[in-house]
Structure 1
């Protein structure tokens, strides 16, 4: 059955504040370089006051993936909770301007729209500090069942699994997607998500609720307990029909019902900011698969998109992804 949308995603609706920082600043603030840490409102205010001049751009892992897919001419939808405030208006404007269907009503009288304070060190590594605000309170009532049903795939952001309200909403979304004949994808997002919820994720895989998992070196080893990431990916691939594992500068690989493909990373003149690398990789891969491309071609599209986004500040593409992909594949 033909679907209107290639992917409908559920994720954190976040506005990123990105600033340059030194390694000394990261150490002084007792931050884990390259990691994502959840912070409360007080810590968000404190860190924002101490960090350097920032640039505000719409973000959120799944939203970044959808933005990348929209840049590749894929019709997509997004479900995520913002507040009725200025940053909420910024997020809604930005994602709708891309042609993405976003109809989640803003929340009033509660926490403000989520923001992520991203510190980028001279080596391009990003250290994220996230105040989830309204994003973590996505209720089941905010789900657009018709939108989910119109999607060929439901894409779930692992970060959002950490909050009880949004976790319940995502479980309900899986049921809606299954009833509508849609496939379901899950991105594991971070080690702390895996460590907190891997048993739930395995249960979803084992009962057939998850068709595709996106992961990276650290997440896949945490998920399986296998030290070697390639062996860990092979082990996890036995639990799910389709698996994509990114290996940083070593490229990425995919498994699909016994088929296996691997590609190297695309060359980048200078790594400026790794924010959004995994998100845009997923965008390219999903776009390729939705177009009926092979695993290798889809992985290559993911690598091209990831290379573009790490060549500049911010988690959203700035260059013409369609042209970059066409030049690489043709």
Structure 2
């Protein structure tokens, strides 16, 4: 088992499935609508738990019906919710349009996630017991930085998914061990569109980088070592929502178990490939037995 703490968001995903996403000013008719528990933090927590990790979640849900369902989803997936707060008011929501090619566009409304501005009593103690802390950017940056600094104080590996993409303060990068952007986020952070060159630039700020490349796989780079590219399995994508979060959750489990980086990346890619073949976020994430069998 792997000790993973997740400091991150919980959202209810409001998903519309369409032939093509509407352009500005355009109205299209969708074929289906679903409400699916999600949020980058909760997604990574569920993905890691299903992949075999011992996972605890730090964050907040609202006092609405969505909050009840979000908490229930985490618990039923094996995630410890003792430090998941309930904030008065609405839970976070993500409004997602998924087209027939599996692509998506997303608008996130923070809701209760916006109340998580810092660690509260118990949070740092939990982080100290983990071997990995997973972070994303759907909480206020003050909380993300506080979590990363707590992890550094206790020798806990920090894995940061810089999404939604935004400029990152140097003090956060200084306490990040592994940065996992997709190619668009890597370009935003580095100002360089070419992933290998972007990775090289990012290594000036963090010791390790994994850039996820969608169907092209992933690129791993570490200071003082040759970069490593791992291809993704060939599959037909139905919905790419949460593929990156599934990858990160599985990667955290694999690295926590001491697997070599290349093996960990291959295993995480297999998990993400299973995810994109199913609709939704938490509903699409594979279990360990499925990843091992793929």
TM-score (norm 1): 0.81
* Cα deviations by residue, 1:15-71 (Å, 9 ceiling, x for unpaired): 112221232x5215579xxxxxxxxxxxxxxx9xx8664211110112111111111
Distance change in 2, residues 1:135/1:302 (3 Å) = same
Q: What secondary structure is seen at the aligned counterpart in 2 of 1:223?
A: helix
Q: Which residue of 1 aligns with 2:230?
A: 263
Residue 20 of structure 1: aligned partner: 17
> For 2:194, which of 223, 228, 249 is the aligned residue?
228
For 2:26 and 2:259, the matched residues in 1 are separated by 44
In structure 2, the partner of 1:6 is 3
The partner residue of 1:242 within 201, 208, 214 is 208
Any conservation in 2 of the 1:221–1:228 contact (CA below 8 Å)? yes
1:105 and 1:255 map into 2 onto residues whose CA distance is 36
* Cα shift at 1:324: 3.4
Deviations 1:133-162 (A, max 9, x none): 1111114254622211111122111232xx
Matched with 1:37 is none
Of the three residues 26, 33, 44, the one matched with 1:54 is: 33
Q: Where does structure 1 lack aligned partners over 5 or more consecutive residues?
A: 32-46, 161-165
| Displacement of 1:169 | 2.3
Classify 1:320/1:227 alpha carbon distance in 2 versus 1 (closer, same or farther; 3 Å). Answer: closer
Matched position secondary structure for 2:158: strand
How many pairs are equivalent? 291
Please tell me whether the aligned partners of residues 116 and 143 of structure 2 are also in contact (alpha carbons under 8 angstroms): yes
Q: For residues 56 and 169 of structure 1, what CA distance do their matches in structure 2 show?
A: 27
Please tell me whether the aligned partners of residues 19 and 100 of structure 2 are also in contact (alpha carbons under 8 angstroms): yes
The alpha-carbon deviation at position 217 of structure 1 amounts to: 1.1
Scaled by the length of structure 2, the TM-score of the pair is 0.90
2:74 to 80, 95, 103: 95
Counterpart in the other structure of 1:128: 106
Residue of structure 2 in register with 1:254 after alignment: 220
Q: 1:70 aligns with which of 49, 52, 67?
A: 49
* Paired residue secondary structure (1:19): strand
How far apart are 1:187 and its partner, in Å? 0.7
CA deviation string 1:77-98 (max 9, x = no partner): 1111111110000001110111
Q: Which residue of 2 aligns with 1:183?
A: 157
* SS of match in other structure, 1:81: strand
Runs of 4+ deviating beyond 6 Å: none
- Tell me the SS of whatever aligns to 1:105: strand
Match of 1:106 in 2: 86
Does structure 1 retain, via aligned residues, the 8 Å contact 2:2–2:253? no
RMSD: 2.3
Q: Which runs of 5 or more residues in structure 2 are unaligned?
A: none
Give the corresponding residue for 2:142: 168
Which of 173, 182, 198 is matched with 1:216 structurally?
A: 182
Q: Aligned with 2:135: secondary structure?
A: strand
For the 8 Å contact 1:283–1:305, the answer to whether it is kept is no
C-alpha displacement of 1:235: 2.0
Deviation at 1:239, TM superposition (A): 2.5
1:269-288 paired onto structure 2 within 5 Å: 270-288=236-254
Residue aligning to 1:39 = none
CA contact (8 A) 1:154 1:185 kept: yes
